[in-house]
């Protein structure tokens, strides 16, 4: 076909339902897109090692991980945007004093700075992945980190946001916050991919549901919010499809004319 498009899918609440299951209709739709000649990619806040099995199941090797900080195109690293380590070291020390543990994350692994903590167990457990961070309080030294998890209750992250202007703080769980490089987003990761692939803005589509999808859905011309999305996310999207549990991906792809 001549009218090829590239479609970016968020994972949690978009490709996967709230039980972290991939609906059959979604899997079938992804493979149909590829049969039609479209490019299919993932855009997620997760680390690459947190969705490796999903990539294999869907045969997807282009992805934006860590909300845009680590981007891979056709299996090869395309773009990285690591955290400022000096600022991270200061934040970690302050967080430790406040009994707010952190988990350091690069493209291969994640390590906690404390032995165990109920907030880490509670929030990581909701991801339903087959791994848990081991302890290494100095994991940030001598390597690039693309995201850090800060564990604190809602509102407590404000004290850090006011002090550390090198970072953005995005909450994804009642006791967990993503710490990202300032201004980093899925939208910037998408820009790197489409520049390399040469797609026009009319041929770019994105599906998402969470707060970390805001910039992506605001920036991509053909943006689709899931029916289960936050209301403020629905407001910035061009289209709204059904919930992930109501074959929302399939419905949305038909709605925008891709299937």
Q: Annotated active-site positions, please?
A: 10
**CA atoms of 239 and 185, how far apart (whole Å):** 20
User: What are all long-range contacts of 16-22, with beta carbons under 8 Å and residues at least 24 apart?
Assistant: 16/54, 16/244, 17/244, 17/245, 18/228, 18/244, 18/245, 19/128, 20/127, 20/128, 22/54, 22/57, 22/58
Burial environment of residue 2 by CB neighbours within 10 A (0 to 12, 13 to 18, 19 or more) = exposed
Size of the chain, expressed as the number of residues it contains: 259
Give the full edge-to-edge strand order of the sheet including 76-80.
76-80, 70-73, 63-65, 39-43, 6-9, 204-208, 222-225, 239-240
Q: In the structure encoding, which two tokens stand for residue 55, read together?
A: 């990539």
């Amino acid at each position: 076909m001549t009218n090829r498009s590239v479609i970016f899918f968020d994972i949690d609440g978009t490709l996967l339902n709230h039980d972290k299951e991939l609906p059959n209709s979604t899997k079938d739709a992804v493979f149909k897109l590829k049969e039609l000649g479209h490019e299919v990619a993932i855009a997620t806040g997760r680390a690459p090692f947190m969705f490796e099995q999903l990539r294999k199941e869907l045969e997807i090797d282009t992805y934006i991980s860590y909300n845009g900080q680590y981007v891979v195109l056709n299996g090869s690293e395309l773009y990285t945007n690591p955290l400022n380590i000096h600022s991270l070291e200061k934040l970690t020390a302050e967080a430790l004093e406040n009994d707010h543990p952190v988990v350091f994350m690069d493209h291969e692994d994640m390590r906690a700075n404390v032995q165990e903590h109920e907030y880490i167990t509670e929030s990581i457990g909701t991801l339903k992945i087959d791994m848990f961070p081991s302890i290494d309080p100095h994991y940030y030294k001598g390597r690039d980190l693309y995201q850090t998890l800060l564990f604190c209750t809602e509102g407590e992250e404000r004290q850090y946001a006011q002090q550390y202007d090198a970072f953005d703080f995005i909450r994804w769980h009642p006791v967990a916050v993503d710490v990202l490089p300032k201004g980093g987003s899925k939208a910037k990761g998408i820009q790197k991919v489409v520049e390399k692939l040469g797609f026009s803005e009319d041929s770019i589509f994105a599906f998402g549901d969470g707060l970390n999808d805001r910039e992506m859905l605001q920036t991509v011309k053909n943006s689709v919010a899931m029916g289960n999305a936050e209301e403020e996310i629905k407001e910035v999207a061009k289209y709204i499809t059904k919930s992930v549990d109501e074959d929302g991906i399939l419905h949305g792809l038909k709605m925008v004319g891709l299937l």
